[in-house]
Amino acid sequence: MSDDFMLDTDDIERRMEGAMNALRTEFASLRTGRASASMLEPVMVEAYGQKTPVNQVGTVNVPEPRMVTVNVWDKSMVNAVEKAIRESGLGINPQLNGTIIMLPIPELNEERRRELGKVAGQYAESARVAVRNVRRDGMDQIKKAKDGMSDDDQKFWENAVQEMTDNYIKLVDSALETKQSEIMQV
């Protein structure tokens, strides 16, 4: 192999892993009929003049399988947190109990399960696109360094990038399959 060109495969792999991490985060925010503290991660509260994540204004707990509670630290923030959860589009109706906001998680109906399955598919497709974009960047680096590189070296690097891409696409598909079966589980 040529000493002139060395593809930074660690960088490519790190970027593909970043796409997987983003997918896992998006999947965690999808409600599957079971309570999860991560479902409140995308909810932002108007607190002290700026948007703040719910977990920075109170303690998020899952005391039972169908209940999430938020113990708000500052009493003056309770109504703002409740409003943010109500308007978040999660389909949860918060119940106040002093500084504790209780979020009972209702059963998902069949139609809502199908919708969530489609949303999970969209998240997975975004992750696949991100992985393919990283692949394209890697292939572009190889093409730019084509001068002074033998055809065998070029094929080696292209195959290495393609193999990494295939592995991450399989991981995305596997994560999607797992999430969709979790969503459809009654």
Mark whether 120 and 146 lie in a shared domain.
yes
pLDDT at position 135: 95
Mark whether 122 and 164 lie in a shared domain.
yes
172-184 residue pLDDT tens: 999 999 998 888 8
**Which residue do the tokens 């394209």 mark?**
136
Alpha helices in the chain (DSSP H): 9-28, 78-86, 110-144, 151-184
- The total domain count for the chain is 2
**Which residue do the tokens 């309570």 mark?**
35
- Determine the structural domain holding residue 39 and report its residue range: 34-104
Nearest by Cα to 161 from 13, 60, 37:
13
Domain boundary among 104, 136, 155: 104
26-79 residue pLDDT tens: 887 776 667 777 778 878 898 888 998 888 899 999 888 888 999 999 898 899
Domain boundary among 49, 73, 104: 104
Lowest mean pLDDT: which of 62-66, 119-123, 127-131? 62-66
Mark whether 174 and 161 lie in a shared domain.
yes
Mark whether 127 and 76 lie in a shared domain.
no
pLDDT at position 31: 65
Helix axes 9-28, 151-184, angle to 10 degrees: 10
Length of the chain: 186
User: What's the CATH number where 77 sits?
Assistant: 3.30.1360.40
pLDDT at position 39: 79
Residue 2 has pLDDT above 60, yes or no: no
Mark whether 44 and 22 lie in a shared domain.
no
Mark whether 100 and 152 lie in a shared domain.
no
Task: Tell me if 4 is assigned to some domain.
Answer: no
Q: CB of 70 within 8 A of CB of 39?
A: no
pTM above 0.95, yes or no: no
